[in-house]
Amino acid sequence: MGNPIYTSRPSEALNDDALAQLALDVRWSWNHSADKLWQQLDPELWDLTHNPWVVLQTVSRQRLESVTSDTAFLGMLEELTQAKRADSDLPRWFQQKHANSPLKTVAYFSMEYMLSEALPIYSGGLGNVAGDQLKAANDLGVPVIGIGLLYQQGYFRQQIDRNGVQQALFPYNDPGQLPIKPLRDANGDWVRLSLSLPGFKLWVRTWEVQVGQTKLYLLDTNDPANLPEYRGITSELYGGGQELRLRQEQVLGIGGWRLLRTLGIQPEVCHLNEGHAAFAVLERARSYMEETGHPFPLALTVTRAGNLFTTHTPVEAGFDRFPEDLMRAHFHLYAEARLHIPFNELMALGRRDPGDSHEPFNMAYLAIRGSGAVNGVSRLHGTVSRRLFQSLFPRWPVEEVPIRHVTNGVHVPTWDSVEADRLWTDVCGKGCWRTSLEEIEKPLHRVEDTAFWRLRTEARTSLVEYIRDRYARQIESQGGSAGEIAAAGQVFDFRTLTLGFARRFATYKRPNLLLHDPERLMRILSNSQYPVQLVIAGKAHPQDGAGQWMIRQWSEFIQRAGTPSRVIFLSDYDMLMTERLAGGVDVWVNTPRRPWEASGTSGMKVLVNGGLNLSELDGWWAEAYAPDVGWAIGDGNEHGDDPAWDAVEAEALYTLLEREIVPQFYDRDSRGIPTKWVARMRGSMARLTPSFSANRTVREYTENYYLPAAAAYADRAAQGGKLGADLLAWQSKIADLWGDVRFGALKAETRDGCRRFEVPVYFGRLHSDAARVELFANGQNGAEPVRKVMDPGPQLPDGGMVYSACVEPARNASDFTPRLVPNHPGASVPLEASQILWQK
């Protein structure tokens, strides 16, 4: 027998091949029309990986030639290729509604992206949001380009041993097995960037991911020209110490912006998905300096108008901070040689008190000072964020801290199950998630109860089949006996109420609240008349001992109760498992401590599939909840980590299950349908799914942030940055002369149905046009504060000017206080000028 012949099939070798074009477009991860194609090539590998590029790279040439000679296979391939081409030609929402806008490119920076299990460069919620928004941008035609990092290992993989102990594994992400390709320039050369690190040049390789019509560019440092230490900068997500994190964020922000410029791309808008990417604002300003010759302060003033910062962090400790010595080692030369500013001026951008040399550098502060707008990711998180950042805006009322919110949403075509997709398509049409969402609710109210219950029954059946297969493999990997493996393959029941709890195991998420009274939980699960089954999954960070202990507690409960037929813990929670659990559970349980879940998206995925939510009134659920669409625990207040309150909410959780949720599920009519349950499904799917879809989120970002940011940046950059220079001069005068301003005594009188306030204002050397006098009163009963601009009146002999305003006399005169705030038609106040003066 002769020697076997091995052929190399690197990524580029198949670029012109129709199969390769399909495999390298992660659109297949939410458009499942090509699934049968990959199954024919290697059904087992496809089932295990759902990675068509791996299938295509692995299949033998003999098998490939055999399959591609089959007329039915070729017909399917041709149909898919034509569908892909037709999809690219379809008119999109953005081009139809905003055809003549100044917005041409949004650069979206994120530390992680959850696009597909075939590209494991994500940890959880942040990546989920980034991936779903990138997909929705493709669907809607919003011109977004993603920038991220390619990790050699990504986030860790989890294995639970027989004792319930989490084992952290770090398999290698082989670029040749990922649906990516090297990014090449017009000459065919691989695009490599160089960055300066202490004492050495860092080479950064670049990769391209096709997301339908949208692109994601990934950077990695595993270049043979780098020192071994530097090759590992992009080794793993959220691993290592402070220096590794700082270097990763350097590569993401500075390297990411340089890549765009290398490619000749000039985004009007830069969207920072969390503060990790904040160094991009520095490099954007530096690029503008290079183009125009303007100094850094003016460059930052002009470019910040086009930057948007989205914060996801609900606690102060969550922001990345770096000590001065570490920052100096990495940014001293960058500040002085690139930005032409003293290093301390750069440090001041990341400090609450710019003059405090002992304060570390806060990436969120840099993002705020380098952006024209800031938002949280739910209504409640907007409120929390205003409290977190109030120290940057001293003496401003917390409700006026300049942070708004855009509530997250999920990309419905990614997260709907086969069964749910069939219902959505039948009722609303295949393309409903690519257009306006106003007409989605009405058709669902015309759907028969039987269709909703069929969806739930089929989805639960599919989930149980998945759980049995996955759990059997899990027991086998733990060294289980043949009998144990066989038993694992029979767990759960197709007709039983199925609860799901799956998320990161961290103390603030309280994953063990259900275990507060183990015996009571066991009684709920083992009720012979109304049985309940519970599937649990989730990872604890390898350095989080408390989170790992909570996983072990669940394992011990399962072993002690001896009822894997009622409750199981599935290991290695990943995107594929998320899809299956969200698609099949009847009720999703969520128990974070309010307000520590900024938004949350797992429950949104469940409502897409007709599942119902039982959740703390936190994050998105605080604005979504209504009694007819799900269940809630909590009183809408904050209680910290009070064990007594945990006990109160555990009691509420058990009571809801025992008295409402379980009985309602089993309360059937003559057709065997739980009509009250189906009514909740209908309301949840019809009202909540459109509102909490990424379609709505991306359109909101586009119209409320991207378009205004693009226009503001264009205005500031016009005429050689004239408006930017005016703003900078105005900011300088405000900073220098604000101390000159003072108020005189306030007078108030009521006459002819009007309460008239008058107050003298003395501006000193500050021109009166540089500031605005307002009459302010706090809002009542949840209403917005009263802000009434006071009108200038006569000049006083001592140099003052009388300002006046008239309000209805419904409130006490003592409720109102005059104040002075900076004023410029092109500025965002107080984001760009935080001074404020109150009349005493």
Distances (CA, A) of 387 to 276, 314, 397, 521, 830: 21, 10, 10, 37, 15
Q: What is the mean pLDDT of residues 550-578?
A: 88
pLDDT digits (tens, 9 = 90+) for 149-201: 999 988 889 999 988 899 999 899 999 999 999 999 989 999 999 998 887 89
- Show the tokens assigned to 676: 């009250």
Strands (E), 733-839: 742-743, 747-751, 754-762, 771-777, 786-789, 791-795, 801-807, 817-822, 837-838
Neighbours of 125 (CB within 10 A): 22
Residue 12 has pLDDT above 80, yes or no: no
pLDDT digits (tens, 9 = 90+) for 719-748: 999 999 999 999 999 999 999 999 999 999
Neighbours of 100 (CB within 10 A): 4
- pLDDT of 564 reads 62
**How far is it, in rounded angstroms, from Cα 506 to Cα 528?**
33
Residue 11 has pLDDT above 70, yes or no: no
Q: For residue 271, what is the enclosing H or E element?
A: strand 269-273
pLDDT digits (tens, 9 = 90+) for 257-273: 999 999 999 999 999 99
Give SS3 for 349: coil
C-alpha closest to that of 282 among 269, 271, 296: 296
- pLDDT of 197 reads 83
Q: End-to-end alpha-carbon separation of the chain, Å?
A: 98
- pLDDT of 177 reads 92
**How far is it, in rounded angstroms, from Cα 762 to Cα 744?**
8
Residue 536 has pLDDT above 90, yes or no: yes
Write down the mean pLDDT value for the chain.
93
Neighbours of 44 (CB within 10 A): 9
Q: What is the mean pLDDT of residues 93-113?
A: 95
Q: For residue 736, what is the enclosing H or E element?
A: helix 707-737
**How far is it, in rounded angstroms, from Cα 304 to Cα 307?**
5
C-alpha closest to that of 390 among 409, 368, 413: 368
- pLDDT of 783 reads 87
Q: Are the C-beta atoms of 308 and 271 separated by less than 8 Å?
A: yes
One-character DSSP codes across 130-196: HHHHHHHHHHHT--EEEEEE--SSBSPEEEE-TTS-EEEE-----GGGSS-EE-B-TTSPBPEEEEE
**How far is it, in rounded angstroms, from Cα 353 to Cα 10?**
52
Q: Which residues does residue 757 pair with via DSSP β-bridges, in sequence order?
A: 748, 805
Give me the helices (H) in 251-305, please. 256-262, 279-292, 296-303
Using CB atoms within 10 Å of the CB of residue 535, give its burial: 0 to 12 exposed, 13 to 18 middle, 19+ buried.
buried
- pLDDT of 13 reads 41
**How far is it, in rounded angstroms, from Cα 151 to Cα 209?**
14
Residue 4 has pLDDT above 50, yes or no: no
Strands (E), 406-510: 497-502
**How far is it, in rounded angstroms, from Cα 829 to Cα 821?**
8
pLDDT digits (tens, 9 = 90+) for 786-835: 999 999 999 999 889 999 999 999 899 999 999 999 999 999 999 999 99
- The radius of gyration of the chain from alpha carbons, rounded to an integer in Å, stands at 29
- pLDDT of 370 reads 98
User: Which domains, from first to last, does the chain contain?
Assistant: 11-89 (no CATH), 95-151+196-408+702-717 (3.40.50.2000), 440-692 (3.40.50.2000), 741-838 (2.60.40)
Neighbours of 203 (CB within 10 A): 17
- pLDDT of 561 reads 67
Q: How confident is the model at residue 562 (pLDDT cuts 50, 70, 90)?
A: low
Distances (CA, A) of 151 to 171, 206, 493: 11, 12, 40
Q: How confident is the model at residue 90 (pLDDT cuts 50, 70, 90)?
A: confident
Q: Are the C-beta atoms of 628 and 584 separated by less than 8 Å?
A: no
Distances (CA, A) of 496 to 447, 489, 531, 567: 24, 17, 6, 12
Half-sphere exposure of 138 (CA within 13 A, CB side): 25
pLDDT digits (tens, 9 = 90+) for 216-234: 999 999 999 999 989 999 9
**How far is it, in rounded angstroms, from Cα 718 to Cα 183?**
33
- pLDDT of 514 reads 96
Residue 534 has pLDDT above 60, yes or no: yes
- pLDDT of 7 reads 33
**How far is it, in rounded angstroms, from Cα 54 to Cα 178?**
7
Backbone angles phi, psi at 95, to 5 degrees: -70, -30
Largest Cα–Cα distance in the chain?
110
Min mean pLDDT across 76-80, 209-213, 348-352 is at 76-80
- Show the tokens assigned to 225: 């020209």
782: DSSP letter: T
Q: Are the C-beta atoms of 771 and 822 separated by less than 8 Å?
A: yes
**How far is it, in rounded angstroms, from Cα 474 to Cα 439?**
44
**How far is it, in rounded angstroms, from Cα 826 to Cα 304?**
12
Residue 382 has pLDDT above 90, yes or no: yes
- pLDDT of 47 reads 87
Q: Which residues does residue 537 pair with via DSSP β-bridges, in sequence order?
A: 502, 570
Q: Are the C-beta atoms of 730 and 827 separated by less than 8 Å?
A: yes
- pLDDT of 83 reads 86
One-character DSSP codes across 189-213: PBPEEEEEETTEEEEEEEEEEEETT
C-alpha closest to that of 410 among 692, 191, 761, 641: 692
- pLDDT of 8 reads 36
Backbone angles phi, psi at 579, to 5 degrees: -55, -45
Q: Is the four-CA dihedral 140, 141, 143, 145 of positive or negative sign?
A: positive
Q: For residue 109, what is the enclosing H or E element?
A: strand 106-110
Q: How confident is the model at residue 437 (pLDDT cuts 50, 70, 90)?
A: confident
Residue 794: cis peptide before it, omega within 30 degrees of 0: no
